[in-house]
A and B are shown apart, each in its own frame.
Chain A
Amino acid sequence: MIKSIKFKISLLLCIGFMVMSCTEAIDFDQADDIILTPALEASLVYFDEPASRFVDNGSTILSIQDFISVAFFNDEFVVDNVEKAEFVFETQNTINRTFELQVDFLDQAGNLQHSLTVREDAAPDNTDTVTTYTEVFEGNSLSALKRTVTIVFTMRLLPGAPLDEDTVGRIQYKSYAAFYINLNK
C-alpha cells in the first residue's frame, strides 16, 4: 500500500516536471519583416591602351565603336529585386588628348533608353590621377536599365594635337557595377 502511494507520487512528480515547461514571449510574425539587402559588385568594362593604339597609317583614329548584347538586366530576378544600381568608372589619362567614352543603352526594339558619357581631360604634362565617375540608376533610369538588351560603347577623341607612333601616354578605363538588392516581402 505504502509502495503504491510512493509510486503514484513519484510518477506524478515525473510527469509534472515534464509538463511544466514554459515559454517566454516569442513573435514569429517578425519573420514577415525580414529585409535582405545584399549589395553586389561586379567588374564591367575595361581597357588600357597606349597613345599609339589610336594611330592608323599615320593618321589619328577619332572614334571606335562596338556593342554587346546582354540578357542580364532583363532577368526576372534583376527586374524584381534590384532597387538601385551604380556604374562606377575609374579613369586615368596621360595622353595629351581629351577622350570620351559614350555608353548607350538600347531596348529590344533598338531604341535608346539611356546614355552616359565619361570624359577624360587631356594631360598636357602626361601625368594624371585616377578620376572616378559614378552613374546612379534609380527611378526612371533604373527602369531604362532594366529594359536594356544592347549596350553600345563609343570611344571618341575630342579635337587636339594629332597623335603619332611616338606620342607618349596611356588611356585607362576600369569600371564596376554595384547592384543594391532588396529581397523583402
Chain B
Amino acid sequence: MRKLFLVFTLQLCLFSFSQNKQLLYGFSEIPQSLMQNPGGKVKNDWYVGIPLLSHFHVNVGISGSTVYDVFADNDVDFNVKLRNAVNSMEPTDFYGFNQQLEIFSGGFAFGSSFNKNEYISFGMYQELDFLLYFPKDFAVLALEGNQSNINRFFDASDLSVVADVVSVLHIGYNKKVDDKFTFGVRGKIYSSIANVSSTKNKGSFVTVPGENNVYNHIFDLDLALQTSGIASLIDDENSDVSNDVDVLKKRVLFGGNLGLGVDFGFTYQLTDQWSFDASLLDVGFISHTKDVENYAINGQYTYNGVNPLFSPADDGQTADDYWSEIEEDFEDIFTVDTTATKYTKWRPVKFNASLNYAFGKKQSQYCNCAVDDSDYLNAVGLQLYGISRPKRPQMALTAYYYRHVFNGLRLKAAYTIDSYSFNNLGLGMSAHIWGANFYVMADNLLQYKNVYDAQSVSLQLGFNYIFNKK
C-alpha cells in the first residue's frame, strides 16, 4: 500500500498538468498547440512527433480535502481527520484524473510555394479520463448510519462517476485566410476501449418519525450504472491476461465502440499587437453498442415494521406471510437489474478563448531601433477555459506572460484560478535545437512544497522534429 502511494506520488512529482492545458494553449511554437485550437497560428512548415514521445499529459486533481488533510503524520487521530474531511467536503467536490499519450502525430503546410497558408495535421492519441464526485451522503451513511440522522435525506444523486479510455484518430485542417483571420477544424474518430458511467442517479433514503411505528423508512431509489467494454474482460472464462491485452489492442485500433467528433477554432488578429482566439473541442459522441452491460436499482418502498399479531390485511394472513411480503418488497427494490441496452455518451466538450497582447520587438545590433520584420518577443493575455462535466461545468481563468528568450527557448508563465485553487502558478518551456523540439510544462508549482497538500498537479511534455519556416 505504502509503496503504491510512493509510486503515485513520484508520478505526481514528475508528471503534472490538467485537462486544462493553459500553458500549451496558444503556445504556437509547439505543434501540439493545434490540438487545443485547430485554428491557431502555425509557425512551422512541417513537423513529425517522435512516436509515443510527442505528447504525454497527466493531471491529478482533488477539490476539497487533500491527501495531507487525511494522512498527515500528526497527533490527531486518523478517524477524526477522516470525519473532518468527510464533513468539510461537498457532493460537488471531486477526484479527477486525466492522461493522454500521443501515439504518432505530424503536420505539413501546403499551398502555393511562396505562400503556404494551409496546413494539415494528423495523429492518434490515447486518453484516459476519470472523474468521481465525492459521494457525501453515502459516506455519511457509512460513517454514522441513520441513528444520528433521523429526518436527513440521503441523496442518491451524490453518486456520480465516469471512467473512460479511448483512442482517437484525427485529422485537422488549418487555413490562414489573410493577415487577420485564421481558422481550423479537426475531425476525430473515437474508439472506446472501456467506459463506465453512472451520472444520472436520483432518489433518496430517509428515516422519519412514523404514525403506526416509531419510524418510517422511505426508500425512493433510481440508480443506474452503464458499462461497455468491461463485461467481456471480467466474464471471460480464461484468466490469461495476454488474451485480454490482445482484445484491448484491437479496440485501440478501432475494434471498440466507435464515435465521431469535431474541433473548431479560429484566431483573429485585431491589430498588429492584439489578437483574439477561441476553440471548441470534442463536440462529439461515442455510441456504445458492443459489450454493453448496464445495472440498475429502481423502486419506491416505505417500511415501518411489522404488525405480527393484528394483521392489517384482516383476512387471516399470518404474521409470517406478512413478513415475507415485506422481504419481497425489499428484494424488489434492491435486486440489481442487468441489461444490455445500447447507449450513447457525449464527449466532455471543452471551450477555450484568449485575448492576447504582444509587445517588445528585438533591438537591432546596429541602431537603437527595433528589427522590423521580427516577431514580438513578449506577450501577455487572458485565457478562459471550460469543460462540461456531469454535475456542472468546470471553469478556469488564466493570466499569462510569454517570452521569446532567444530562438532556442520560449517560456510561458501562467497564473490560473480554477475549481482546485486560487494560486495555481505554472511554467512552460519549449526548447528548439536545430530541428529538435522538446517542451515541458507543469502547473501548480507553489504546491510542490508539499505535494500531498496539492489539490491538482499536472504535466505535459513531448519531443518533436520541426522544420521551421524561413
**Measuring CB to CB, which residues of chain A are less than 8 angstroms from any residue of chain B?**
3-4, 6-7, 10-11, 14, 17-31, 33-36, 38-49, 53, 64-71, 88, 90, 151, 153, 155, 174-176, 178, 181
Residues of A within 8 A of B369 (CB): none
Choose from A19, A20, A27, A38 the contact partner of B71 (Cβ within 8 Å): A27
Task: Write the chain B residue with the least CB distance to A150.
Answer: B320
Residues of A within 8 A of B344 (CB): none
B470 to chain A, nearest CB (A): 18
Cβ contact within 8 Å between A11 and B210: no
A115 to chain B, nearest CB (A): 15
Residues of B within 8 A of A90 (CB): 214
In terms of DSSP, what is the predominant structure of the interface of chain A?
mixed
Choose from B215, B319, B409 the contact partner of A67 (Cβ within 8 Å): B319
Cβ contact within 8 Å between A41 and B323: no
Choose from B73, B207, B307 the contact partner of A25 (Cβ within 8 Å): B73
Task: Write the chain B residue with the least CB distance to A14.
Answer: B429
B432 to chain A, nearest CB (A): 10
A-contact bits for B441-469, CB 8 A (1 contact / 0 none)? 01001001111110000010000000000
Residues of B within 8 A of A24 (CB): 68, 72, 450, 452-453
Choose from A18, A151, A175 the contact partner of B440 (Cβ within 8 Å): A18
Choose from B146, B307, B452, B459 the contact partner of A45 (Cβ within 8 Å): B307
The interface centre, meaning the residue of A17, A42, A64 with most chain B CB atoms within 10 A of its CB, is A42
26 A-B pairs with C-beta separation under 8 A: A3-B407, A4-B408, A21-B12, A21-B449, A23-B451, A24-B450, A25-B74, A26-B67, A26-B72, A26-B73, A27-B71, A31-B78, A36-B142, A38-B143, A39-B147, A40-B147, A41-B146, A45-B308, A47-B308, A47-B309, A70-B323, A88-B214, A90-B214, A153-B308, A153-B309, A178-B147
Q: How far is the CA of A176 from the CA of B303 in the complex (A)?
A: 12
Beyond A24-B450, A43-B216, A70-B323, whether A53 also contacts B305 by CB under 8 A is no
B384 touches A (CB below 8 Å): no
Closest 3 CB pairs of A and B: A38-B145, A43-B305, A21-B448
Residues of B within 8 A of A155 (CB): 309
Cβ contact within 8 Å between A66 and B319: yes
Residues of B within 8 A of A88 (CB): 214
B179 to chain A, nearest CB (A): 30
Residues of B within 8 A of A22 (CB): 448-451
Cβ contact within 8 Å between B445 and A17: yes
Q: How far is the CA of A64 from the CA of B324 in the complex (A)?
A: 20
A128 to chain B, nearest CB (A): 17
Residues of B within 8 A of A39 (CB): 144-148
Choose from A21, A38, A43, A151 the contact partner of B217 (Cβ within 8 Å): A43
Cβ contact within 8 Å between B303 and A43: yes
Cβ contact within 8 Å between A23 and B9: yes
Cβ contact within 8 Å between B451 and A44: no
Q: How far is the CA of A176 from the CA of B324 in the complex (A)?
A: 19
Within 8 A of A (CB), among B69-94: 71-74, 77-79, 82
In terms of DSSP, what is the predominant structure of the interface of chain B?
mixed
Cβ contact within 8 Å between A175 and B79: no
A104 to chain B, nearest CB (A): 12
Q: How far is the CA of A11 from the CA of B405 in the complex (A)?
A: 12
Residues of A within 8 A of B388 (CB): none
Beyond A14-B427, A41-B146, whether A46 also contacts B452 by CB under 8 A is no
B464 to chain A, nearest CB (A): 17
Cβ contact within 8 Å between A7 and B406: yes
B371 touches A (CB below 8 Å): no
Cβ contact within 8 Å between B13 and A21: yes
Residues of B within 8 A of A151 (CB): 308
Beyond A17-B427, A24-B68, A40-B145, whether A33 also contacts B213 by CB under 8 A is no
Q: How far is the CA of A181 from the CA of B150 in the complex (A)?
A: 17
Cβ contact within 8 Å between A38 and B406: no
B1 touches A (CB below 8 Å): yes
Cβ contact within 8 Å between B1 and A28: yes
Q: How far is the CA of A28 from the CA of B324 in the complex (A)?
A: 46
Residues of B within 8 A of A34 (CB): 78-79, 82
Cβ contact within 8 Å between A64 and B304: no
B423 touches A (CB below 8 Å): no
Q: How far is the CA of A17 from the CA of B324 in the complex (A)?
A: 67
Beyond A14-B440, A38-B142, whether A45 also contacts B305 by CB under 8 A is yes
Beyond A18-B442, A24-B453, whether A43 also contacts B79 by CB under 8 A is no
The interface centre, meaning the residue of A18, A35, A151, A181 with most chain B CB atoms within 10 A of its CB, is A18
Q: How far is the CA of A90 from the CA of B13 in the complex (A)?
A: 60
Task: Write the chain A residue with the least CB distance to B144.
Answer: A38
Residues of A within 8 A of B453 (CB): 24
Cβ contact within 8 Å between B323 and A175: no
Cβ contact within 8 Å between B217 and A23: no
Residues of A within 8 A of B411 (CB): 10
